[in-house]
Amino acid sequence: MNTESEVPSSAPRVRVLRILALPVLALALATPASHGLAEAVTERRGSLVIIGGGERPGRIHQRFIALAGGTNHARIAVLPMASGEPERSGRLQAEEFRGFGVKDVDVVRFDRTGAMLPATAERLMGYTGVFFTGGDQARLAAVLVGTPCETALHRMRDTRGVVVGGTSAGAAIMSRVMITGDQRGEPDRKADFAVVRRGATLTSTGLGLVTNAVVDQHFIARRRQNRLVGVTLEHPELIGVGIDEATALVVLPDGSWEVEGDGSVMVFDARGAKVREEGPHANLGAIGVRFHLLLPGDRWDPTAGR
């Protein structure tokens, strides 16, 4: 079913769209002409705005809006499917963008059946910015990964200059190796994080919008250093990046990283390290891991940082 609710025409436009297994023709007809799906491909790469969760300083939202085209030209889709309360989460995020003056915001919801429809992917192609709310990244991945909508997100970012952002769970899903938040063994067992060992942190498949890193969030606030170090040593070809609350990692079109907000971004780089595994519990060790702590305003090129 597809439903829309319109605010008065005098207010900035926020539409709530639910796409659940619509016939392709009906969905195509529901796509507003203002989204310009027939526009020519710009062939330019967009940025990523990856937020560590928590309260977000206004300048993070302003950066995302600017990258999406500015308050008068941005067309933002809020995807709230990670949340256990997607209607509320989507509405609050849309209102937040409206509060910064964005005139065109849609809350777009669909299940996996909807994500498999080419027409849903085509609808997404009309936006200049896509934003994932927080919640459970596994829930969001179950809807998007391996669908035409995932392909559309890559195409939008890679060729149309679309900015993709997300907070908390919406940050974790950005990397292909996705930290699920679960640990091996019983859910309430903390001993798995007392040492760094292989397999202590469960991972799944994310969107892969970040190709050279694995992303963790709420990082220093929730003391997640051990789990990110472990995942980084299991995947030493990837950079471990831990983003704190009230902080965003902005991945620029040239691949360099920039920090925005109030906190820090912690980087573990084991690409040149010697990683070893010992003992009956597969404890991990390494020599030569590089560590960086990036502050707001810092810019780092991960290709030059090896």
Name the active-site residue from 9, 10, 43, 186: 186
Q: Facing residues of 233 across strands?
A: none
Name the active-site residue from 47, 168, 175, 264: 168
- Contact call for residues 159 and 41 (beta carbons, < 8 A): yes
Number of H helices, E strands in the chain: 9, 17
Type of residue found at 283: N
DSSP state of 21: S
- Contact call for residues 134 and 82 (beta carbons, < 8 A): yes
- The whole-angstrom separation of Cα 229 and Cα 268 is 7
Going by C-beta distance under 8 Å and a sequence separation of 6 or more, which residues neighbour residue 205?
141, 145, 146, 176, 177, 178
Concerning whether 47 is annotated as a catalytic residue, the answer is no
3 φ, ψ (degrees, to nearest 5): -125, 150
Spatial CA neighbour of 114 closest among 78, 142, 87: 142
Concerning whether 154 is annotated as a catalytic residue, the answer is no
SS3 276: strand
Name the active-site residue from 218, 245, 258, 260: 218
- Contact call for residues 55 and 246 (beta carbons, < 8 A): yes
SS3 32: coil
The string over 13-28, giving b where at least 16 C-beta atoms fall within 10 Å of a residue's C-beta and e elsewhere, is bbbbbbbeebeeeebb
Concerning whether 168 is annotated as a catalytic residue, the answer is yes
The string over 109-141, giving b where at least 16 C-beta atoms fall within 10 Å of a residue's C-beta and e elsewhere, is bbeeebbbbebbbbbbbbbbbbbbbbbbbbebb
- The whole-angstrom separation of Cα 80 and Cα 94 is 10
The set of catalytic residues is: 168, 186, 218
